[in-house]
């Protein structure tokens, strides 16, 4: 979409909102023929209360800022690809490496001296036999499994409007696109990528248009040939044209499923949800490089429900029953008597005569306080909180007769009451009744930690991996994971583990009210060995100040790989076996770095920094500390560039390491 332009100090800036706000409000009764369950509706009336990510053209997932070369470049001097930082002590990931970030995404959109910056990243990744692929707003990257970057491309146009070199160049994108997702089709051994595009006359564009851009790799190698298809997603609903936002994306053995929320052009409100079924067509169709067969449907109306917001299609695995397509899950349903429900719409005969039927699944009481505004997450170092989203269903998978899913909730009671909290559920099929549920509270990360934007993946043995974001008043926003084995007690998960802890606080709003994070995360199964790959964002060192706001928060992403054995070792790990001083990260650094250390036993700890002639320049820790893993961020505001040494002393243990400050 063509953005509105602002000028200052000779620099040209455009602000593009590609996601608006939905609000959850009071419920309204459904048809008498249905179970007496009520849905929380989206309403413009309560716009200031419970915000939900659906584009700010009229809905919610991405804000874009284009700049000329008038901005402060990132403070890091290490060129891409950078070396991986040391994994935190006690970590059990088999492999972990960092990937695209706020700056590299902007570099992918470079045109002359202009770049395009994007928030939030909407991070999601998928694993194939030999590669992992990640997408963010608005780039795609391909890595081998040891972390070597093979390809990094923008999805749509660059900052100058050119499509040359973009991933979706064959479809002639007209702007950056937004809300990308990537999944792996284990039935046909292909990668699938989707992204959205919209233009709006109200924003200065020549026409109102909406397209879904989708691509499938010709083989399991994402570095080879891809087949592309565009879908016209402008639909006339209730007397007006609507555009598509916030895609759900899933696959089974027969088709690809894409759901979207539909909004009015010119800042219009949410109108409906729609489902597109893309026939695979392995021979001569979409998967075969030919024309695609696509049908569009209104599942909610077909199932006797009101239009109530996001539908999450289940990624199907294994061998589904004959005739079954997928499950479309939505959250936010309640009976007014303290009981929360999920709506599960069953899709059958997807490529012949699609049929939709709804079942309400009770979640066993009041799991979410829908009357309160969904809480934002605090963060260390800043009073500006992290926007943690809302209670929509975020990720669903089906395998072996069980339907799993994740969402975030605001628990009304318990240790996580009033906090954004990752929630998971397990539903038996075809009976569609609740088998298990639980939360990932994050209190084992730090007291008062909020957890949000959870994702999941199930292996062939029924073990589950979860990825999620976490932030709290004593930690920076970071990327975490956990899991549960098939035989674990009901309602439990193992201890939370670190993919990447945040290394700084994060504030980046592009003039908006919300300090955006998410809108989701990624967890997938490696088809080569059944291991788990987690992908998410964390707050990197601040930098890249773009006038006039002065905000300098930056996101970075990372992959991590683990197996069910590592899930087991999570619970078996206790205290560090020995006291150790870890190398600071990042290093070299500016303006901040994090120093980690392990304590094998309780004791008095001294952590100090010295210059090259042995003068003490900073005392970071000088107190009793419990056994365990520790980290502290150092921001040397008054020191000059140069080499410094930091020393840890605890009892008879003394160790020093070198760090480099660059200003």
| pLDDT tens-place string over residues 519-542 | 999 999 999 999 999 999 999 999
618 or 36, which is more confident? 618
- Beta carbons within 10 angstroms of residue 77's beta carbon: 10
Q: What is the mean pLDDT of the chain?
A: 86
Distance of CA 469 to the CA centre of its chain: 8
557 or 50, which is more confident? 557
Confidence band for 103, pLDDT divided at 50, 70 and 90: very high
Residue 655, pLDDT above cutoff 50: yes
**What element of type H or E holds 570?**
helix 564-572
Q: What is the mean pLDDT of residues 83-97?
A: 58
pLDDT in tens, 253-269: 999 999 999 999 999 99
pLDDT in tens, 495-513: 999 999 999 999 999 999 9
Q: Distance between terminal CA atoms of the chain?
A: 38
Confidence band for 78, pLDDT divided at 50, 70 and 90: very low
Q: What residue ranges in 363-420 does DSSP mark as E strands? A: 377-379, 382-386, 393-399, 402-409
Give 210's strand partners.
198
Report the 3 state secondary structure along 36-83. CCEEEEECHHHCCCCEEECCCCCCEEEEEEEECCCCCCCCCCCCCCCC
Residue 473 is predicted with a pLDDT of 95
pLDDT in tens, 122-170: 999 999 999 999 999 999 999 999 999 999 999 999 999 999 999 999 9
The encoded tokens of residue 545 equal: 């100040």
Question: Which range has the top average pLDDT, 6-10, 62-66, 85-89, 215-219?
Answer: 215-219
Domain boundaries, the chain: 60-572, 580-661
pLDDT in tens, 195-205: 999 999 999 99
Confidence band for 633, pLDDT divided at 50, 70 and 90: confident
The encoded tokens of residue 289 equal: 């490089």
Q: What is the percent of the chain where pLDDT is above 70?
A: 86
Q: What is the mean pLDDT of residues 76-91?
A: 33
Q: What is the mean pLDDT of residues 232-251?
A: 98
The encoded tokens of residue 421 equal: 């909290």
Residue 22 is predicted with a pLDDT of 27
Confidence band for 471, pLDDT divided at 50, 70 and 90: very high
Residues in contact with 75: Cβ distance below 8 Å, sequence separation at least 6, in sequence order: 541, 543, 589, 590, 591, 662
Q: What is the percent of the chain where pLDDT is above 90?
A: 76
Tell me if 60-572 shares its fold with 580-661: no
pLDDT in tens, 640-651: 999 999 999 999
pTM strictly above 0.95: no
CB 557 within 8 A of CB 518: no
Give 590's strand partners.
none
2 or 349, which is more confident? 349
Confidence band for 577, pLDDT divided at 50, 70 and 90: confident
Of 246, 147, 251, nearest in space to 190 by CA: 251
Residue 642 is predicted with a pLDDT of 94
pLDDT in tens, 182-191: 999 999 999 9
CATH number among 2.90.10.10, 3.20.10.10, 2.40.50.320, 2.120.10.10, domain 60-572: 2.120.10.10
Residue 57 is predicted with a pLDDT of 28
Residue 61, pLDDT above cutoff 90: no
Q: What is the mean pLDDT of residues 462-470?
A: 98
Angle at 180 between CA 178 and CA 181, to 5 degrees: 165
Confidence band for 569, pLDDT divided at 50, 70 and 90: low
Confidence band for 114, pLDDT divided at 50, 70 and 90: very high
Residue 567 is predicted with a pLDDT of 78
Q: Put the strands of the sheet holding 190-199 in their side by side order.
A: 178-185, 190-199, 209-217, 226-232
Of 55-64, 341-350, 381-390, where does mean pLDDT reach its minimum? 55-64
- 580-661 has which fold? Immunoglobulin-like (2.60.40)
pLDDT in tens, 309-332: 899 999 999 999 999 999 999 999
Residues in contact with 45: Cβ distance below 8 Å, sequence separation at least 6, in sequence order: 23, 25
Cα separation of 448 and 503, whole Å?
18
Residue 571, pLDDT above cutoff 80: no
Residue 13, pLDDT above cutoff 70: no
Phi, psi of 301 (to 5 degrees): -65, -40
């Amino acid at each position: 979409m063509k953005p509105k332009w602002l000028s200052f100090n000779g620099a040209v800036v455009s602000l593009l909102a590609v996601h608006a706000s939905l609000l959850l409000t009071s419920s309204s009764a459904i048809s008498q023929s249905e179970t007496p369950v009520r849905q929380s509706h989206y309403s413009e009336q309560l716009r200031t209360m419970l915000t939900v990510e659906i584009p700010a053209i009229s809905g919610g997932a991405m804000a874009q800022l284009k700049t000329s070369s008038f901005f402060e470049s990132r403070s890091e001097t290490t060129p891409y690809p950078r070396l991986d930082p040391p994994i935190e002590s006690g970590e059990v990931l088999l492999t972990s490496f960092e990937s695209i970030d706020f700056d590299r995404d902007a570099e992918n959109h470079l045109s002359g001296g202009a770049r395009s910056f994007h928030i939030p990243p909407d991070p999601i990744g998928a694993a194939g036999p030999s590669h992992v692929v990640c997408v963010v707003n608005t780039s795609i990257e391909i890595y081998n499994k040891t972390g070597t970057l093979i390809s990094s491309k923008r999805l749509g146009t660059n900052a100058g409007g050119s499509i040359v070199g973009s991933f979706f160049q064959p479809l002639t994108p007209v702007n950056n696109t937004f809300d990308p997702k990537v999944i792996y089709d284990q039935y046909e051994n292909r990668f699938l990528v989707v992204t959205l595009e919209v233009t709006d006359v109200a924003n200065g564009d020549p026409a109102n248009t909406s397209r879904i851009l989708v691509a499938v790799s010709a083989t399991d190698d994402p570095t080879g040939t891809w087949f592309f298809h565009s879908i016209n997603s402008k639909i006339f609903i209730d007397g007006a044209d609507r555009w598509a936002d916030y895609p759900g994306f899933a696959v089974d053995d027969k088709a690809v499923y894409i759901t979207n929320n539909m909004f009015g052009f010119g800042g219009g409100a949410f109108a409906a949800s729609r489902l597109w079924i893309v026939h695979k067509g392995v021979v001569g169709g979409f998967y075969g490089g030919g024309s695609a067969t696509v049908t569009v449907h209104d599942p909610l109306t077909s199932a006797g429900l009101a239009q109530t917001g996001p539908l999450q299609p289940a990624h199907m695995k294994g061998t589904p029953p004959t005739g079954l397509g997928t499950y479309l899950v939505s959250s936010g349903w309640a009976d007014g008597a303290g009981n929360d429900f999920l709506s599960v719409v069953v899709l059958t005969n997807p490529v012949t005569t699609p049929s939709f039927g709804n079942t309400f699944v009770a979640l066993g009481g009041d799991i979410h306080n829908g009357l309160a505004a969904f809480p934002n997450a605090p963060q260390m170092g800043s009073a500006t909180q992290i926007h943690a989203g809302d209670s929509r269903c975020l990720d669903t998978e089906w395998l072996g007769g069980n339907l799993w899913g994740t969402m975030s909730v605001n628990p009304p009671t318990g240790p996580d009451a009033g906090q954004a909290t990752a929630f998971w559920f397990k539903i038996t099929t075809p009976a569609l009744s609740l088998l298990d549920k639980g939360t990932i509270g994050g209190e084992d990360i730090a007291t008062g930690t909020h957890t949000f934007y959870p994702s999941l993946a199930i292996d062939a043995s029924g073990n589950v991996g979860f990825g999620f974001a976490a932030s709290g008043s004593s930690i920076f926003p970071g990327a975490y994971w956990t899991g549960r084995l098939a035989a674990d007690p009901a309602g439990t998960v193992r201890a939370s583990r670190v993919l990447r802890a945040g290394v700084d606080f994060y504030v980046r709003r592009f003039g908006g009210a919300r300090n955006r994070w998410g809108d989701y995360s990624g967890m997938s199964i490696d088809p080569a060995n059944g291991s788990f790959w987690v992908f998410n964002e964390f707050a990197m060192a601040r930098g890249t100040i773009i006038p006039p706001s002065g905000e300098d928060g930056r996101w970075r992403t990372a992959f991590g790989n683990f197996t069910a054995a590592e899930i087991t070792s999570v619970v078996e790990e206790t205290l560090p076996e020995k006291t150790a001083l870890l190398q600071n990260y990042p290093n070299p650094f500016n303006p901040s770095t994090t120093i980690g250390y392990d304590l094998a036993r309780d004791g008095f700890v001294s952590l100090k920094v010295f210059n090259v002639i042995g003068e003490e320049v900073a005392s970071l820790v000088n107190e009793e500390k419990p056994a365990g893993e520790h980290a502290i961020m150092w921001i040397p505001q008054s020191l000059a560039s140069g080499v410094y040494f930091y020393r840890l002393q605890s009892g008879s243990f003394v160790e020093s390491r070198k760090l480099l400050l660059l200003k």
